[in-house]
Amino acid sequence: MLRRWCIPLAGLALAGGALAASAPAAASSHPAGHTIHLIRPAMHGTAPMAARGRASNAALSTNWSGYAAHSKKYNNVSASWVEPTAHCPGGSQFSSFWVGLDGFNSGTVEQTGTEVDCRSGSPKYFGWYEMFPAFPVNFSNTVKPGDHFSASVTFNGSGHFTLVLKDATQGWSHTVHKTLTSAARSSAEVIAEAPSSSSGVLPLADFGTVHFSNSKVNGSSLGSNNPTQIIMVNGSGRHKVSVSALSGGTAFSVTWLHSN
């Protein structure tokens, strides 16, 4: 499972073409049954959208939904969530939930989270981390719907990062130390995403509603960092999810509406 940047609704042909050309091939070392997908970083600006019924500080994307702070350098992002239950009617659909640094307005992403994919009508749950442009790593630990997760990504200086993913319900955790000297640290985000293949965004799995809480950036509430609300849409602008307002500056929910 490969994660990248947020794809803006505007300029999709250019961005999609560039990303497809640079997409790495599948790695044979990944766990059996887990196809490598792209979760792409965000090369877009934002625009006032209050007149269209959205927050005044909002952006549209075909693969990201949630919130991103992007006005300074960021050293830490953290959040908690409950793994949602996927509804799998048949075929293949995909969804991912994570915290990360970079990707909103830069070409790297340092991130960790969970995923649920629908494969032939059956849900597959797992955790992962990624330091894009390196390949992602999927964890083999059990993940079930209803599990309580917490995650963080921390910059330690000199290109060094610590990524932590904890499943309090199943009783496992992973702490990963990685180096990426090219990381800009220009954004921090808490995201529900539609993964992608090298040819484009994949159908979004029906995860119902995912609830994020305790969302913090640089040690303070996400809301105090003037974050941009990101709304996932298809290529025609139809909303694929709804994103709630921030509650107490740290909590919000993302609700599935459409696969495409």
Domains, the chain, ordered by start: 12-256 (2.60.120.700)
Q: What are phi and psi of 124, to 5 degrees?
A: -125, 120
pTM of the model: 0.86
H runs (alpha helix) in the chain: 12-22
For 137, residues 6+ apart whose C-beta sits below 8 A from its C-beta are 128, 129, 130, 176
Please tell me the distance from the alpha carbon of residue 60 to that of residue 53, in angstroms, as a whole number. 13
Burial class (CB in 10 A: 0-12, 13-18, 19+), 178: middle
Bond from prior residue into 89 cis (ω within 30 degrees of 0): no
Q: Is 182 exposed, middle or buried (0-12, 13-18, 19+ CB in 10 A)?
A: exposed
List per-residue pLDDT tens for the chain, 260 residues long.
Answer: 445 567 787 543 222 222 222 222 222 233 333 344 444 454 333 333 333 444 557 899 989 999 999 999 999 999 999 999 999 999 999 999 999 999 998 889 999 999 999 999 999 999 999 998 887 899 999 999 999 999 999 999 999 999 999 999 999 999 999 999 999 999 999 999 998 877 788 999 999 999 999 999 999 999 999 999 999 999 899 999 999 999 999 999 999 999 99
β-strand partners of 113: 98, 128
